[in-house]
Structure 1
Amino acid sequence: TVTLAEGTEMVMPGDNVSFVVELIAPIAMEDGLRFAIREGGRTVGAGVVSKIIK
């Protein structure tokens, strides 16, 4: 589940956003880890983990 900041309805290419992600399966992560968001075999986003919320 991806939760965008309040008031953010859509993100366009080139935008910088903060959001909260709840993963469907556990995975080892740490602050500073780079990640990609993929949909249908295409990369639709990329970013860096800024904070782990337990």
Structure 2
Amino acid sequence: FKVKLIQPVAMEQGLRFAIREGGRTVGAGVVTKILD
């Protein structure tokens, strides 16, 4: 699925990331493709 970031962030393919909300991790993944 596509994700739109609130702020620009330097990313590259293969980068691992975590999505946090209110101090809790609600998701995690790996960047598989850079679209723009």
Give the TM-score, by structure 2 length.
0.88
Within the alignment, does 1:26 sit opposite 2:28 as a pair? Answer: no
Q: Which residue is 2:24 aligned to?
A: 42
> What are the superposed Cα offsets for residues 10-54 of structure 1, whole Å, 9 maximum, x if unpaired?
xxxxxxxxx211111111000000000111110011100000011
| CA distance in 1: counterparts of 2:5 and 2:19, whole angstroms | 12
Q: How many residues align?
A: 36
Report % sequence identity: 78
Instruction: Measure, in 2, the Cα distance between the counterparts of 1:45 and 1:26.
Output: 19
Runs of 4+ in 1 over 6 A off after TM superposition: none
Q: CA RMSD in A?
A: 0.6
List gaps (5 residues or longer) in structure 2: none
TM-score for both structures, normalised by structure 1? 0.63
